[in-house]
Structure 1
Amino acid sequence: MADLVAGVDGGNSKTDLVLADTEGRLLAWVRGEGTRPHREGMVVTAERLADLMRRALDEAGRPADPVAVGAYFLANVDVPEAEQAALRLLSGLDVAERVIVRNDTLAILRAGAPAGWGVAVVSGAGINAVGVHPHGGAARFLSLGDITGDWGGGMSVARAGLGAAVRAGDGRGPATVLRDVLPTWFGLPTVEAVALAVSTGEIAVAELHGLAPLVFAAAEGGDTVAREIVERLGDEIVTMVTALLRRLDLLDTPTPVVLGGGTLQNGQVLLHDHIRVRLAGQAPLAEPRVLDVQPVAGAVAEALAEAGASEAAQRRIRSAIAVRPSPVRDEPGARPANEARS
């Protein structure tokens, strides 16, 4: 019987795959591009994920060995039809003997709520949330971006920061240090030059995500405009959490609320404080906690559970993921010095 399992956390901007054995030993941890089937198609996404699995097996020195269970928790797989399409394609590519496909929010919940229920928010490049009732019912959002009323994550923060900086220069908005700090990310003289470069395609829209840490830093430094943007993100997170608690009839039940993803797991004190204050007012029994391990730990936990691994194996892999630095992606146009801040 195959003794390998794989857990995959696919976000908008990056995908982590951890390969382990059923004793909980970490064998490989590789990182690839984001999971964007809504833009690139599910076929391309599945093939890229299969390539990532091959990379992990090669790194572990076991390129020909079968994988018993592959648990894929993927961003932008938001409806049952998308889950089924990903499951069918990944199964056809033989990534594992048994393939599980879920939305990436459930990896956050699996990693941060030991009982398996509660609310989880993922705020990375984008934003989403899910709620699971202790009796098994679930609630989620359609999460298709602007057309379904979504705002949040690093990309929304970055775009709002750039827009606010332009408005500060043309008289439509208040002064902000963002006018000075944002262009430095791209080595350009002004935010107007950045906006023009995006409009002509010289700068890809996805690269704007790198501005988010600068907005957070400006907010922590006291800039009023940046602070309002960060607080807006906190408000959106609280709105999502309370909506899920209401839909699941959990407002009167002490409920774990797990906060994960790049913009929530990087020590953003202002954001965390704002969320806790607002949540205390709207859902006082909610129990917010910032995930203390990479979300991929939740995916690996699911794979190990499906493979029948012991609790000791679960603890062992979680500890290994917690202490090992995440792999750094090496892609054209990447700016590694700021990777950990986004």
Structure 2
Amino acid sequence: MSDLTKPATVLALDAGQTGVKTRLTRPDAAPVERLFAGVRTDQPLLPQLAAVTREAASGVPLDALAAGVSGLTSVEHDAGELRALLHDSAPGRVLLAHDSVTSYLGTLGDQHGVVVASGTGSIILAVGPAGVARVDGWGYLMGDAGSGYWLGRAALDAVMRAHDGRGPATALTEVVSSRWPELEDAYVQLQSDPAKVSVIAWFAEAVAARAATDEVAARLCRDAAEELALSVVTALRRAGADGAPVVSAIGGVFRGSLVREAFEEAVRAVHPGVRFEAPHGTGLDGAAALADLPAAHPLSALVSSAG
């Protein structure tokens, strides 16, 4: 990281739909971490971040506010607007980035490599000699290949194929039937469920748990691993990575041993010298790191700054 002096009082935000984690760091006190309700995608984002900032700062003047935000769009990627919303107590600097950037910084720091995050969704970010490359993270309707949603959706498809006689029998049928005893009514109930994305993603854990004994579940895990490996290899190529890149895989999908093993095997087939590293920190650590990210670092171009 930079050897520049870090701002004395920093509020870091790691904002997602399931929760907003905050860390207030002051030179004269121990860091204070809090958890707030997640951001709402059906409401303007920046006012929500401003409200969390006011509550988390508790009246303490901030030298810097550094936020990593899930689903940050180009329209909302404006640190100046966020700083203006905090006009009554505007921080000296405001730094705003997509959470893929802060996830990378929290996971690998400022070194070159690639971070693949696969939970409900999936997104891959690589940093190399040619710059920064983002792959996927396009949401459940247009992307997120190999994600928890992707696995859950594939599991439901496999169950209904087995039900129709179009596919092999699978132990996943029992899992789906435990939620919807009448399988032929399941699709109607699911389509009308406002939480359908998280409901579908929930089945990914059942797929991983049955991969050792059910061939259908095993195939789905291998398919997910191949998708994630393809995204990683693509990101590394676009970032100009060398033959021994650093790869860190995070997120709930990688808790499945078959997914992780098949993923590593597929990446190693293209990059035999690859090094797989455990995360060095968290997304909240990455948000805090925005405050002293060197201006020359490739990721700086993806950070909106004001002040």
**TM-score between the two structures when normalised by the length of structure 2:** 0.80
- Structure 1 residues 2, 245: CA separation in 2 closer, same or farther (over 3 Å shift)? closer
Deviating above 6 A after TM superposition, structure 1's stretches of 4 or more consecutive aligned residues are none
* Structure 2 Cα separation of the partners of residues 287 and 77 of structure 1: 30
- Counterpart for residue 303 of structure 2: none
SS of 1:290's equivalent in the other structure is coil
Alpha carbons 2:24, 2:56 under 8 Å: kept: yes
Q: Secondary structure at the match of 2:210?
A: helix
Change (3 A) 1:227 1:281: same
Shift of 1:236: 1.5
Return closer, same or farther for 1:35/1:92 CA change in 2, 3 Å cut-off: same
Identity of aligned residues (%): 24
Give, in whole Å, the separation in 1 of the partners of 2:197 and 2:110. Answer: 39
Deviation at 1:110, TM superposition (A): 0.9
| Corresponding residue to 2:133 among 132, 139, 160 | 139
Match of 2:221 among 217, 227, 230: 230
User: How big is the shift at 1:231?
Assistant: 1.7
1:269-280 matches, cutoff 5 A: 269-280=257-268
TM-score, normalised to structure 1's length?
0.73
2:31 partner letter: L
**Cα–Cα, structure 1 residues 158 and 30, in superposed 2: closer, same or farther, change >3 Å?**
same
Structure 1 residues 145 and 202: CA distance shift in structure 2, 3 A:
closer
1:218 Cα deviation (Å)?
2.0
> Where do residues 159-238 of structure 1 align in structure 2 (5 Å cutoff)?
159-184=153-178, 186=179, 188-201=180-193, 204-219=196-211, 221-238=212-229
Farther-moved stretch of structure 1 (285-294 vs 274-283): 285-294
Task: Go from structure 1 to structure 2 and tell me whether the alpha carbon gap of 1:68 and 1:282 turns closer, same or farther (over 3 Å shift).
Answer: same
The CA RMSD measured in Å over matched residues stands at 3.0
Q: How far did 1:246 drift?
A: 1.2
| Secondary structure class of the residue paired with 1:263 | helix
User: What amino acid does structure 1 have at the position aligned with 2:223?
Assistant: R
Higher relative contact order (CA 8 A, sep 6+): 2
> How many positions carry a matched residue from both structures?
286
Equivalent residue letter for 1:274: A
Contact 1:5/1:22 (CA < 8 Å) preserved in 2?
A: no
Structure 2 unaligned spans of 5+: 1-5, 295-307
Partner secondary structure for residue 67 of structure 1? coil
**Gapped runs of 5+ residues in structure 1?**
58-62, 308-342
Q: Alignment partner of 1:25: what SS? A: strand
What corresponds to 2:275 in structure 1? 287
Alignment deviations for residues 153-174 of structure 1 (CA, whole Å, 9 cap, x no partner): 2111222212221221121221
